[in-house]
Amino acid sequence: MRPVADPVVTGTGVALPGARCAADLLALTYGSARPVPEPWPSRDRDTRFKDRATRLALMAGEAALTAAGLLDAGGPTVPGEEVGVIVSSNLGTLDTVCRVTETLDRDGPAALRVVNLPNACSNATASSVAIRFALHGINLTLCNGATSGLDALGWAALALATARARRLLVIGVEPAGPAARHCAGASGTLDGAAALVLESADAAAGRGRATLTGYARRTNADAAIAAAAAAAGPAGRATGCGLWLPPQEGAIGVGAVCHPDTPEDRAARAARAPRPGFDPGRRDRDTEGDSHHPDGIGYATVCDLGRALPPASGAFGVLQCVAATAWITAGTPAGVPPTALAVAGGGRADDAAAALLLSAAHHAGAPDEGEE
Amino acid sequence: MNDAVTGWPIAGTGAVSSVGATTAEVFTALCAGRGAPRPVRAFDTARLRTRHAYEITDPPQQPAAWLCRAVAEALAQAGMPDDLCDVPVLVGTALRDLRGAERDWTEGRSAPPDPHFGRILRDRFGACDTHTFAGACSASLYALALAADLLAAGRADTVVVAGVDTITASMYALLDRAQPGAPREVRPFDRDSGGQLLGDGAAAVVLRRPGTAPARAVLHSVGLYCDAGHVTAPSADGLAAAQRQAHDRAGITARDVGLVLAQGTGSPHNDRAEAQALARVFGPEGDGPLIAAVEGMTGHTSGCSGLLNTVLAVECLRHGRTPPVVGLRDPIEAAAGLRFSTGGRVEPTYAQVNSFGFGGVNAVAVLGRAA
């Protein structure tokens, strides 16, 4: 197959208490969330019948499309046929489904509102985003547990590589409605969204802020990191990543509330994480053949969103990539590579782990030699 | 990208629905015109106008179990072991196991819902590259498209695609409020149709790289399109665009299609739009492909329906038979020029599967006989 240049992130957006923009994610510390303006998320005439997840997704999506230059005051700047939508959310429809069932039991069918019909289906958010911004490309909703956000980015990259779309709006969202809060218990749950626009290098025409170089989903974090690095080809063989974005523990919607990770799980995971203390000299050791192994990866700095945010479930991976893009865009000190490694899942209650690699956009365009 | 040079071999299929628990059982029952709705057992419908559905009763309300059964059947047909540790599994569903979440919520349990099928597939088949696409009613055909893309991109040699859905009380009750009638039966493309009835179902196919396995049929293409128009109502333009895209990607013309497994939910809006789109793509002269629609016998199996029809298309291509359109007596005006199946022999070279969902999320597949 003809090598396809890696896709690039051209815009990001967030709808999150405590973060006005992607760069704020890097500075977040737990409990620092600023007071939320009421009502949150915002509601207007166009969104009065939309569920909470959809309203959050529209906020983040609009910001990302605008930042990418695909949307301005006059509307879309590119044909809607070129743009697809991928939404990652594990709990998005839960409130509608539970509330409708409860109303039916308590008050009978006459109390139901027909406007909730589309919201009772898992794709309500993705289709509403497409309708709002007139996006006719592929329209996917991924509900894939703790890895769902990174998986959504992986599918976006595949859709661009196979020319299913030229541009994709990827949104990770989890709403803290009554049913989600009830299930989450004391650990709480995210009430926000993050979005980014991923475009083929060709479509981005120099607007790229970061390049998605590799993604994989495997049985554990080690295997996922190794497979993502292998998929990234030469770019993934660099022995260090500048930014390490570790998985979040105890995200709800994946059974982790019932089966919290044990201290042993956490210790094992910490042992598997890349080592701190990035050493640029390690690049010289490429010839030793250990460069694919995650143990061979050091990092310069860490962005632990999992500690900074409530359990973010399906939104987590997209939040990680939005933060990583902001970090890469801001520029890195001399000797620190402008690369980021994000991992999600891999906990005892998860079915798998996913890993994703981002690098500075000027690395784009290198033929992928790792693939035939 | 042209995914049509030789097509992707379908090495095995699996199906579970209210009419049977294997591909052969389901296909035989549907060709015989068997399959009818029954009073709903899963939840109380006493206060609703609608009371019927097409439920799987063994076991009831267990989409994960039906999914595993369909996948196991597809693997056995393909001559593969029950081990998917290196095989991507793509699951399309509209309502996941949200019926389980409804039960937990109304009974006051605070168990976190399992939002996807990754863990059950890991436990049963060792799968670790599972992806649950919770789309609209076209979810499983979207999954089929992505599976073909994985093969085309050289990312996998084998992909398992599955569809599964169960009936939620919330969706059933909201449809009861929204539909014009209170149907006791499903009558696709019929003037007197009162609307759709939901059904349980699961389906699976094993898709492989050419030359790696004997094929039961081949997948030539899947076209995807999003109307981005209305949250529930489909548009004939969007349905036609998805069909034309599928033909283009398969490298065929509309005249090459000999059989269409239509969505045909029995919902008057949907059926009119689909009939208009079929007439637009194949011409209104009555010489177009044979049109089959099985939801009169299976109910509308939501996100599973596209892949269930894909499995049926494989069987039609293999056996030269097609199920009749049960429930159709007097076609709607838009369907006047369409040729509907009454059961019996058909020898298509290419068969098409239509799948259309809420939000105008459309998918159309083109399959062909194995070489």
Residues of B in contact with A344 (CB under 8 A): none
Chain A interface disruption, residue of B50, B84, B131, B150, most A CBs within 10 A: B131
Average pLDDT over residues B357-369: 90
What ipTM did this prediction achieve?
0.95
Read off the pLDDT band of A26 (50, 70, 90).
Answer: confident
**Is A63:A14 a contact under the CB 8 Å cutoff?**
yes
Q: Could you report the per-residue pLDDT of B261-308, keeping only the tens digit for each?
A: 999 999 999 999 999 999 999 998 888 999 999 999 999 999 999 999
Q: Residue A33's closest CA among A13, A59, A51, A15?
A: A15
A–B interface: beta-carbon pairs under 8 A: 236
B336 near A CB under 8 A:
no
Read off the pLDDT band of A281 (50, 70, 90).
Answer: very low
- pLDDT of residue B231 exceeding 90, the answer is no
B positions 258-297 inside 8 Å of A (CB): none
**Half-sphere exposure for B24 (CA within 13 Å, toward CB):** 2
**B178: how many CB neighbours lie within 10 A of its CB?**
16
What is Dmax (Cα atoms) for chain A?
A: 72
B positions 28-87 inside 8 Å of A (CB): 47-49, 85
Q: Residue A316's closest CA among B205, B35, A307, A41?
A: A307
Give the phi and the psi of residue A195 in degrees, each rounded to 5.
Answer: -140, 150
Give the phi and the psi of residue A234 in degrees, each rounded to 5.
Answer: -55, -35
Query: Residue B163 and residue B277: Cα distance in Å, rounded?
Result: 25
Average pLDDT over residues A327-346: 92
Q: Which two tokens stand for residue A120?
A: 């009772």
Please give the pLDDT value at position A36: 64
**Is B334:B345 a contact under the CB 8 Å cutoff?**
no
B108 near A CB under 8 A:
no
Q: Residue B132's closest CA among B94, B190, B92?
A: B92
Q: Closest residue of A to B87, CA-based?
A: A218
Please give the pLDDT value at position A18: 78
The better pLDDT of the pair B49, B225 is held by B49
Read off the pLDDT band of A287 (50, 70, 90).
Answer: very low
Query: Residue B178 and residue B156: Cα distance in Å, rounded?
Result: 43
Strand ranges in B104-200 using DSSP code E only, listed in sequence order: 130-133, 158-165
Give residue limits of the domains in chain B: 8-369
Q: Could you report the per-residue pLDDT of B1-19, keeping only the tens digit for each?
A: 444 457 999 999 999 999 9
- pLDDT of residue B27 exceeding 60, the answer is yes
Q: Closest residue of B to A107, CA-based?
A: B47
* Nearest CB to A117 within list B137, B154, B178: B178
**Least confident window among A354-368, B175-189, B220-234, B332-346:** A354-368
In one letter, which amino acid is B37? P
Average pLDDT over residues B316-328: 98
* Nearest CB to A97 within list B101, B142, B154: B101
SS3 at position B288: coil
* Nearest CB to A351 within list B130, B358, B361: B130
* Nearest CB to B150 within list A158, A182, A372: A158
Pairing status of strand B158-165 against strand A353-360: unpaired
Q: Closest residue of A to B136, CA-based?
A: A123
Q: Residue B314's closest CA among B8, B67, B21?
A: B8
A66 near B CB under 8 A:
no
SS3 at position B106: helix
- The torsion defined by the Cα of A49, A179, B114 and B133, in degrees rounded to 10, comes to 10
Query: Residue A356 and residue B306: Cα distance in Å, rounded?
Result: 31
State whether B146 and A158 contact (CB < 8 Å): yes
The better pLDDT of the pair A235, B325 is held by B325
Q: Residue B129's closest CA among B121, B140, B137?
A: B121
Query: Residues with Cβ < 8 Å from B355, sequence gap 6 or more?
Result: B137, B138, B140, B141, B263, B305, B306, B309, B362, B363, B364, B365
Q: Could you report the per-residue pLDDT of A179-231, keeping only the tens digit for each?
A: 888 877 778 899 999 999 999 999 999 999 999 999 999 999 999 999 999 99
Read off the pLDDT band of B133 (50, 70, 90).
Answer: very high
- Burial tier of A74 (Cβ tally within 10 Å: 0-12, 13-18, 19+): exposed
Give residue limits of the domains in chain A: 8-204, 211-363
- Report the percentage of chain A scoring pLDDT > 90: 57
B239 near A CB under 8 A:
no
Residues of B in contact with A372 (CB under 8 A): 154
Query: Residues with Cβ < 8 Å from B291, sequence gap 6 or more?
Result: B259, B260, B262, B278, B325, B338, B339, B340, B341
**A62: how many CB neighbours lie within 10 A of its CB?**
18
**Half-sphere exposure for B165 (CA within 13 Å, toward CB):** 34
Q: Which two tokens stand for residue B21?
A: 């628990």
What is Dmax (Cα atoms) for chain B?
A: 58
Q: Which two tokens stand for residue B119?
A: 């863990």
What 3 state SS string does chain A have?
A: CCCCCCCEEEEEEEEECCECCHHHHHHCCCCCCCCCCCCCCCCCHHHCCCCHHHHHHHHHHHHHHHHHCCEECCEECCCHHHEEEEEECCCCCHHHHHHHHHHHHHHCHHHCCHHHCHHHCCCHHHHHHHHHHCCCCCEEEECCHHHHHHHHHHHHHHHHHCCCCCEEEEEEEECCCHHHHHHHHHHCCCCEEEEEEEECHHHHCCCCCEEEEEEEEECCHHHHHHHHHHHCHHHHHCCEEEEEECCCCCCCCCCCCCCCCCHHHHHHHHHHCCEECCCHHHHHHHHHCCCCCHHHCEEEEECCHHHHCCCCHHHHHHHHHHHHHHHHHCCCCCCCCCEEEEEEECCCCCCCEEEEEEEEHHHCCCCCCCCC
| CATH 3.30.750.80 at B8-369, yes or no | no
Residues of A in contact with B122 (CB under 8 A): 351-352
Query: Residue B278 and residue B288: Cα distance in Å, rounded?
Result: 9
Please give the pLDDT value at position A282: 36
**B256: how many CB neighbours lie within 10 A of its CB?**
17
State whether B228 and A256 contact (CB < 8 Å): no
Query: Residue A40 and residue A56: Cα distance in Å, rounded?
Result: 9
Average pLDDT over residues A138-157: 97
**Is B329:B190 a contact under the CB 8 Å cutoff?**
yes
| CATH for the stretch A8-204 | 3.40.47.10
A184 near B CB under 8 A:
yes
The better pLDDT of the pair A296, A180 is held by A180
- Report the percentage of chain B scoring pLDDT > 90: 87
- pLDDT of residue A274 exceeding 80, the answer is no
Q: Closest residue of A to B126, CA-based?
A: A219
- pLDDT of residue A259 exceeding 50, the answer is no
SS3 at position B171: helix
Read off the pLDDT band of A370 (50, 70, 90).
Answer: very low
Please give the pLDDT value at position B48: 96
Q: Closest residue of A to B107, CA-based?
A: A102
Query: Residue B116 and residue A149: Cα distance in Å, rounded?
Result: 13
State whether A97 and B170 contact (CB < 8 Å): yes
Pairing status of strand A83-88 against strand A167-174: parallel
- pLDDT of residue A296 exceeding 50, the answer is no
B positions 194-223 inside 8 Å of A (CB): none
Distance from CA of A146 to the nearest CA of B (A): 10
Q: Which two tokens stand for residue A115?
A: 């406007």
Please give the pLDDT value at position A46: 76
Residues of B in contact with A182 (CB under 8 A): 105, 110
- pLDDT of residue B60 exceeding 80, the answer is yes
**A332: how many CB neighbours lie within 10 A of its CB?**
17
State whether A118 and B359 contact (CB < 8 Å): yes
Pairing status of strand A192-199 against strand A167-174: antiparallel
How many residues in chain B?
A: 371
B121 near A CB under 8 A:
yes
- pLDDT of residue A1 exceeding 50, the answer is no
* Nearest CB to B232 within list A118, A185, A252: A118
In one letter, which amino acid is B148? A
Q: Which two tokens stand for residue B47?
A: 């206060």
B positions 144-163 inside 8 Å of A (CB): 145-146, 149-150, 152-155
**Least confident window among A39-48, A331-340, B122-131:** A39-48
A118 near B CB under 8 A:
yes
Query: Residue A25 and residue B74: Cα distance in Å, rounded?
Result: 45
State whether A120 and B47 contact (CB < 8 Å): no
Q: Residue B190's closest CA among B340, B55, B298?
A: B340
Give the CA radius of gyration of chain A. Answer: 20
Distance between start and end Cα atoms, chain B: 22
A111 near B CB under 8 A:
no
Mean pLDDT of chain B: 94
Please give the pLDDT value at position B4: 44
State whether A101 and B169 contact (CB < 8 Å): yes
Q: Closest residue of A to B360, CA-based?
A: A127
**Is A232:A241 a contact under the CB 8 Å cutoff?**
no
Please give the pLDDT value at position A41: 81
* Nearest CB to A123 within list B115, B132, B134: B134
The better pLDDT of the pair B49, A263 is held by B49
Mean pLDDT of chain A: 83
A positions 344-363 inside 8 Å of B (CB): 349-352
CA distances in angstroms from B352 to A280, B92, B152, B292, B325, listed in the order given: 56, 19, 20, 10, 16
User: DSSP secondary-structure letter at B234?
Assistant: -
Query: Residue B35 and residue B69: Cα distance in Å, rounded?
Result: 20
Please give the pLDDT value at position A291: 32
Query: Residue B254 and residue B246: Cα distance in Å, rounded?
Result: 10
Residue whose entry in the numeric block shows the structure tokens 């097609």 = B322
